[in-house]
Structure 1
Amino acid sequence: MQTDEVLGLLKDVADEVINPRFRALADGEIHEKRPGDLVTDADREAEVLITAALLAAYPDAVVLGEETFAGDPSLMGRYAVAEHAFTVDPVDGTKNFVHGSKDHAVMVAETVGGEAVRAWIWQPQHELGYVAERGGGTWRHDAAGTHRLEVPAAGSADGSADGSAEGSGDDGPRGGLSDGLRGRTSRRAWIGRALEGFEPLTLTWVSCGIDYPKLVEGEADYVLYGSAAPWDHVPGSLLLAEAGGLLGTTAGEVYSPRDTAPPGLIAAGSEAAYRAVCRALAASDLG
């Protein structure tokens, strides 16, 4: 499938089974996979449609869907070793969707040899699409057209990113960063706390399909995550990388789509910001 075709698929599926239920979910359409972990009929039906279309085009690929995995945990192992795979998050930000918030998204990523090569995020209620291809940049699709995105500079004395998560010779927890960075976190216990020299942490948009585009567009300088399922982070990792940012682990390693259980993640708008946050986090009492 061509890249634009996959974005069209996500739009069509959203129009068919997600948007009609927005702010109109019946009680019987909302379920719990685990206490507090919601899933709706929209999630399940959207994943079936997206998965069927991907497998029709790529019958030998492994498709790791969030809801399919919930019923078949062995799927994660097959995905981790697959030469060609897709991740599917049919409604990222299900709680937002259930509570009537527009901040939810449909996400797909493609991996080859364990590397993300294409990624798609469609925000149906905002009518915004974000697409990235390895070596081809990150693009925003909106009513005005298609626009290439690059992460805005954020208080960095050296805004370059060399694609490596190795440390630098900069001294101090912030390295070469001249101003406090604006951070968000999915860990609610950390909200209001601050890494040394940075602004206090605030809550993410509670949907990776919203968080990563917001980060790429400069509405935060970094995001700290705890959980790290591939369907949540593989799409955003490529969007961020192709726009000049970096997703890495709290242990100082560049994120890999095959790492299905990293210790925690730092999404940052630049290599310098990632290094600074990683050092500041290691020196902090957050835990």
Structure 2
Amino acid sequence: MWIDKVTEILIDAAEIAIQPRFRALADGEVAEKSPGEVVTVADREAEELISRRLLGVVDAPVVGEEAAAGDPRLLTTLREAPAAWLVDPLDGTSNFVAGRSEYAVMAALVRDGETVAAWIVRPAEGRVYVSERGSGTWRDGVRVRREPAPADPAALRGAALTRFLDPPARARVEAATPRFAALGPGTGCAGVDYPRLLDGEQDFVLFQRTLPWDHAPGVLLLSEAGGVARRPDGDPYRPADPRPGLLNAADMNCWNTVRPLLLG
């Protein structure tokens, strides 16, 4: 089955290019690709391996994070091509460089602008999340269904990634923090924050930056498990939409409760 073939490709890439370098990066294997953003030889080798092999599953253009960093025009593929792959070969690179286990390998297949299949592999935990549009979400072969969140904001747990927020927006989040049972900064890895929402460890997550390889996989996984992903104005998420802001929640009631508290 082609879904399983993609899972195998991502696991292989982790075993070949990523895990052997965890806490073992050599001098010269880490570089700054933009201010505050790092890339490693593991990112690049994993993306090359994944991209090459995905073409044998579905022959469609591959929009990889590192390739798009070198040529941002690749992003137009998501609007113009009938189908396209999205690949984040090592999400949470900063965590990986620091020796923290919050990193992931992610991929998604986009058809006519909509995500139709998604994968998140978490090598450090040996966990695999897979979803196909209309067929649900699966964690290690077991179907995942996100339970509704508590109705009371004081019982809700979430994360708000404030790094890319402007000062007024950051101040709103800080002012709202006491209203929740817990509100943290997230892990710095969408490939970990989405599974935590799926698994019930969190009830909502607010993102500001919405790069498609970071969010197309997680949004489909969440939606197929019964959760909700919406732009701040309520619009659905689409990978080719470059607008910032994305609020994900366990269910629509939770989304409607959290949105005015965090976003005004």
TM-score, normalising length: structure 2:
0.92
Q: 1:129 aligns to what SS in structure 2?
A: strand
Higher helix share: 2
Between 1:196-205 and 1:83-92, the stretch displaced more is 196-205
Partner of 1:248: 230
Cα deviation code 1:11-45 (max 9, x no counterpart): 11111110110000012100110122000000001
Percent of aligned positions that are identical: 46
Aligned to 1:42: 42
Q: Which amino acid aligns with 2:41?
A: D
Cα distance, 1:147 vs. partner? 1.1
The residue that corresponds to 2:82 in the other structure is: 83
Offset at 1:179?
4.8
Return the alpha-carbon distance in structure 1 between the equivalents of residues 153 and 35 of structure 2: 43
Deviations 1:128-177 (A, max 9, x none): 00001111111111xxxx21111122113xxxxxxxxxxxxxxxxxxxx5
The structure 2 residue matched to 1:184, chosen from 135, 155, 159, is 159
1:152 is matched with 147
Match of 1:161 in 2: none
> Residue 102 in 1 paired to residue 127 in 2?
no
Q: How does 1:1-287 map to 2 (within 5 A)?
A: 2-59=2-59, 61-141=60-140, 146-156=141-151, 177=152, 179-188=154-163, 189=170, 193-194=175-176, 197-199=179-181, 201-259=183-241, 261-283=242-264
Checking the alignment, whether the CA contact within 8 Å between 2:160 and 2:185 is kept in structure 1 is yes
Q: Secondary structure at the match of 2:176?
A: coil
In the alignment, is the contact (CA less than 8 A) between 2:153 and 2:257 conserved in 1? no
Question: SS of the counterpart of 2:72?
Answer: coil
Instruction: Point out the structure with max Rg over C-alpha.
Output: 1
Contact 1:252 1:278 (8 Å CA) reproduced: no
Higher mean displacement: 249-258 or 219-228: 249-258
SS of the residue 1:4 aligns to: helix
Distance in structure 2 (CA, Å) of the matches to 1:122 and 1:267: 20
Q: Distance in 1 between matches of 2:22 and 2:84?
A: 30
Distance change >3 Å, CA 237–CA 119, structure 1 → 2: same
Segment drifting more, 61-70 vs 186-195:
186-195
Q: Distance in 2 between matches of 1:24 and 1:178?
A: 43
Amino acid at match of 1:9: I
> TM-score, with normalisation over the residues of structure 1?
0.85
Specify the code of the residue in structure 1 equivalent to 2:31: H
RMSD: 1.7
**Aligned residue for 1:168?**
none
2-structure distance, mates of 1:256, 1:196? 32
Q: C-alpha separation between the residues in 2 aligned to 1:205 and 1:269?
A: 18
Task: In structure 2, list runs of 5 or more residues that go unmatched.
Answer: 164-169
Amino acid at match of 1:48: E
Distance 1:27 1:132, change over 3 A: same
**Using a 3 Å threshold, how does the CA distance of structure 1 residues 81 and 199 change in structure 2: closer, same or farther?**
farther
C-alpha deviation, 1:55, in angstroms: 1.8
Secondary structure of the corresponding residue to residue 77 of structure 1: helix
